[in-house]
Amino acid sequence: MTKSIRVDATPFVRPYTDGVGRYSIELLKSLSQLKDFNYIFVGFLDDDFSQIKTFFPNSKIVRLPFLRRIWTLIYKTFPKFISAYETKQPFLYTNFAQFPYFSENGYVVIHDLAYIDRPREVSEKNRLYLSKVVPLSTYKAKKVICVSEYTKSRVIEVLSVDKNKVEVVENAVNRDFFQNKTKILKWKSETLPQDYILVLGTIEPRKNLLNILIAFDKLPHKLTSKHPLLIVGKLGWNNSEIINKIDELRSNNKPVLCTGYMPDHLLPSIYSNAKLLLFPSLYEGFGLPVIEAQLSKTPVITSNIEPMKSLATKKASILVDPFKTEEITKAIELILNNKELREELISSGWENAKKYSWKESARKLSNLLSP
């Protein structure tokens, strides 16, 4: 028997696919392969549903009779007003909040609590919005789904959510997708370097880019001349100090290239052509680039804090204090200069990444939706 599930269309109609979007797409694709679910995507008059039609051609689309920005203003200002639109159908919200309306049978996904744990690294607009809707959404939800055990522990502790109401459905990696590798020589007229040090993430304080740049600047010239820094990610907020540091390094002939946002289909090549992934983030709810790089047989340097520490594992990565630039510099030198260590990290990382399967995550979600 087919079961209908309403789905918040927000992560699917954005002009770019971010971490939340990738989680949403991959999870629902795998879920549809396990069980006969009928997806009903709920969006607005001005939403672009082309991506939904590509990935989920048999799904239904419901357009609410408003423009998204008008509805969002109402939702942000008067969230209780939206309760008039509640539905009894299972409603999956993969983007932090019960949006565009609440459901007494809602399943809301919380990816992190950065707006509480690292408030200075979240824009004021986003922080105010999340501080209003996340507590209310988790309170009203039938189940709260977290992407890691770390995020689950924070949700229970900080938001005082009943632990029996909180479940973990982890991020994962699509093995078939990461087999599609090609050599990318150019991007937007820029010639891409070879043997680069890869930094992946939005250009904003939370990704620790300032310390990454300082650590890169400390590397000897013989390494930076052969291994430029490649930063892949769109511009975020509060990044003027980061941009100034990039300009400073470039003026001192340190090779730093920023590609901006790159579409998902290029990621396998971006990972596999890198000498290493440098991901000493200050805060993550999961840390997906870690296992994506490991599956691509690219060594990983990441932070010795949760959840990256448990995700990457000490055996399969080099863990560093993200606040100590000298540790980051030393870790880069170790991987670039020690071929044996590099091969060990590649082998252990590959085995570690294989543990994370979208099929298994979809099975967990299916069990929640069909108890």
pLDDT, tens only, 52-90: 999 999 999 999 888 998 888 877 777 666 666 667 789
Q: Are residues 236 and 326 in the same domain?
A: yes
Q: Are residues 149 and 201 in the same domain?
A: no
Structural domain tally of the chain? 2
Q: Are residues 74 and 150 in the same domain?
A: yes
Which pLDDT score is estimated for 28? 97
Q: Are residues 119 and 258 in the same domain?
A: no
pLDDT in tens, 281-319: 999 999 999 999 999 999 999 999 999 999 999 999 999
Q: Are residues 29 and 98 in the same domain?
A: yes
Q: Are residues 242 and 309 in the same domain?
A: yes
pTM for the structure as a whole:
0.91
pLDDT averaged per 10 residues in sequence order, the chain, 371 residues: 89 89 95 89 95 94 90 75 73 93 90 95 90 94 97 98 97 83 66 90 90 98 96 88 95 93 88 96 95 96 97 97 98 98 97 96 94 66
Q: Are residues 135 and 246 in the same domain?
A: no
The domain that holds 34 is classified in CATH as: 3.40.50.2000
Which pLDDT score is estimated for 84? 63
Which pLDDT score is estimated for 170? 97
Q: Are residues 109 and 217 in the same domain?
A: no
Domain that holds residue 12: 3-172+357-369
Q: Are residues 361 and 231 in the same domain?
A: no
Residue with tokens 């099929």, as numbered in its chain: 359
Quick check: 206 and 113 in contact, CB under 8 A? no
Q: Are residues 110 and 214 in the same domain?
A: no
Which pLDDT score is estimated for 81? 67
Q: Are residues 57 and 98 in the same domain?
A: yes
Which pLDDT score is estimated for 65? 84
Q: Are residues 86 and 235 in the same domain?
A: no
CA distance 181 to 168: 31
